[in-house]
Amino acid sequence: MVRLGRVLLVVGPLLATVHLLLDAQSGGAGGTFWTYTVASLEAAVITTIVGIALAWREPRGAHHDPR
């Protein structure tokens, strides 16, 4: 799960970058299905938040010594 979180931490900002580049290329008008669903800014933010939550998880069997 931690590895998946790390992958999502890369994918989230990548989606935001793709969205911004495609939006700038099209002049902000008449976006495609890809730009406003899969690569939307909301999807990028949600992906990044889920990535943070998973990346900060402690792997099973990793116990901290309270000393």
Say what percent of the chain tops pLDDT 70: 73
- Please compute the mean of the pLDDT values over residues 33-51 and round it to a whole number: 84
Q: Report how far Cα 30 is from the mean position of its chain's Cα atoms.
A: 24
Q: Residue 8: which residues within 8 A CB-CB, separation 6 or more?
A: 47, 48, 50, 51, 54, 55
What's the predicted TM-score (pTM) here? Answer: 0.72
Q: In the chain, what are the domain boundaries?
A: 2-55
Tell me the percentage of the chain whose pLDDT exceeds 90: 27
> Distance between CA atoms of 39 and 22, rounded to whole angstroms?
9
Strand intervals (E) in 1-67: none
Secondary-structure breakdown of the chain: helix, strand, coil percentages, each rounded to the nearest 5: 65, 0, 35
